[in-house]
Amino acid sequence: MTMGKAAITGTGMSTIGRNTGRPAMDHLLEAAQQALASAGLTRADIDGICTYPGKTDNSPGQSPLGTGEVRGALGLKTRWHSAVPDGPAQMAPIMVAAMAVMTGQARHVLCFRALTESSSQSAGRRASIAGAGKPQIGGWLSWLVSVGAMSASNWAGWMATRYFHEFGMTREHLGMVATGQRQFALMNPAAVMQKPLSMADYHDARMISSPLGLFDCDIPIDGAAVVIVSAADAARDCARAPLRIEALGSALQSQETWDQRPDLTTMGAHDASADLWARTDFKPADVDVLALYDGFSIFVPMWLEALGFCGHGEAKDFIAAGNIGPGGRFPVNTGGGQLSGGRLHGFGLLHEACQQLWGDTGARQVADAKTAVCGMGGGFIAGAMLLNRD
C-alpha cells in the first residue's frame, strides 16, 4: 500500500551554530522564508502549522517556540495546527501533517523544529540531562537517574556495549561512521564542524559513556528547520518537483524505557522499519540516499539493520566495506548528520535528504538521487519515511 496523497514541497534551514546568541524566533523566521521560497509559496498559502514537541521547558533551549507564537510571527491564517510531544519520535509532526492534508484539514502545512540548546545551557542547567534544573524526577527516568544514567549517552552506551558483545563490533567501526560523516560535513558549508576528523582523532578524544566517546555524540546547536507538507493536488502547482511521501512507518514498544527492550541490540527503529516496508512495493535496493538518526553513532548501524540494508549483526562489515560514506552505494547523512552537522533532532537530516532529491547539494550530491529513506528516533520510539521524486 502506498500513500501518494501527500508530498514535501519545500524545506529551509537557518544558519546554525553554537552559542549564536540569536533568539529561536530569528532562526525560525529564516528557515521559514527559505522553505516558502523553495516551494514557491507565500504565507497566505500556508493553512496548517505543526511542530515537535511543542513549547516545553523540560530541557534548556530544546523547544522554546509553540505553534501559536510562530503563527503570529509569520502572520499566518492557519485553520489547522498541532504540536506532537508523544508520537513516532521526531517524525511525528511530518506524519500528522501528511494525514492532515490527506483528510482535507489543510492544503499546505508548515512543520518546524527550532531550538537554542547550545546557547541556553548554563552551569546549573544542561541540555539533554534528565530532570535538569528540576527538584524531583518521576516516571521511568527515576529508575535510570538513580543508577547514575543521567543522559541518553549513558542509555545508548548500554546498547552499544551489548551490541559489541553480541556481534564483535569495535570502536573502529563506529569511528568509520563518525569520520565518514565528517567527510560529508566538509563538503557542506552549513555544517557546524569544518575541521577534518581522522581515525586517530576519533580514538584520542575523551570517553563520554563507554564505549561512546566525544565524536560518537551529536552536537547541540542553535538553529531551526522547516518542512512544508502539501496535499498531492496542491503540490503540483509548487515551484519544485514534489517529493512524494511513498510510505510511513511508526513504532512504540509496550515498555516505554530505553533499558527494558528484550533485545538491546535493536530499537524501536526495527518495528518502524518493518511497518514502513509493509506499506510499499519499494525495497532497500531502490534507495539512493539515507538519512538516519545519529544522536549517537551506534544508532546508525542499528538503523541500517532495521531498514534491511544488511542483516542483524552485519552492520560492522557493511560499514567497513565503504557503503555509507562518500562514494558509497548507500550514502548516509550526506550533510554531515548530527554528529558533524549539528543536532536538529532529525529535521536537519530530512532537510538534507530533500535537498539531495532536488539535486541541490553541490559537491556532495548523489548522482541521480530519486529515492530517500529517513529514520528518526532512538530507543523505544521511532518513525520512518520513504520519499520518491518522479
Digit-coded pLDDT (tens) for 159-188 = 999 999 999 999 999 999 999 999 999 999
Specify the pLDDT at position 329: 98
Specify the pLDDT at position 168: 97
Burial class from Cβ neighbours inside 10 Å (0-12, 13-18, 19+) for residue 224 reads buried
Instruction: Quote the mean pLDDT of the chain.
Output: 92
Please report whether residue 333 resides in a domain.
Answer: yes
Beta strands 6-13 and 222-231, pairing class: antiparallel
The pTM (predicted TM-score) of the whole model is 0.93
Q: Are 163 and 265 in contact (CB under 8 A)?
A: yes
Specify the pLDDT at position 142: 72
Q: pLDDT tens-digit profile of 320-349?
A: 999 999 999 999 999 999 999 999 999 999
- Residues 270 and 171 both lie in one domain: yes
Q: E strands of the chain, at which residues?
A: 6-13, 48-51, 80-83, 108-116, 207-209, 212-213, 222-231, 243-252, 289-292, 371-376, 381-389
d(CA 324, CA 252): 27
Does the pLDDT at position 120 exceed 80? Answer: no
Specify the pLDDT at position 2: 42
- Residues 227 and 213 both lie in one domain: no
Q: What are phi and psi of 147, to 5 degrees?
A: -110, 20
- Residues 115 and 264 both lie in one domain: no
Specify the pLDDT at position 150: 72
- Cα–Cα distances in angstroms (integers) from residue 34 to residues 10, 94, 95, 353, 363, in the given order: 8, 18, 22, 16, 21
Angle 44-50-54 from CA coordinates, rounded to 5°: 135
Q: pLDDT tens-digit profile of 127-151?
A: 566 655 556 677 767 767 767 767 8
Specify the pLDDT at position 254: 64
- Residues 249 and 231 both lie in one domain: no
Please report whether residue 280 resides in a domain.
Answer: yes
pLDDT band per the 50, 70, 90 thresholds, residue 152: confident
- Residues 111 and 185 both lie in one domain: no
Beta strands 6-13 and 243-252, pairing class: antiparallel
Task: Note down the domain range covering 92.
Answer: 6-121+221-240
- Residues 233 and 194 both lie in one domain: no
> Looking at residues 296-311, what average pLDDT do you find?
98
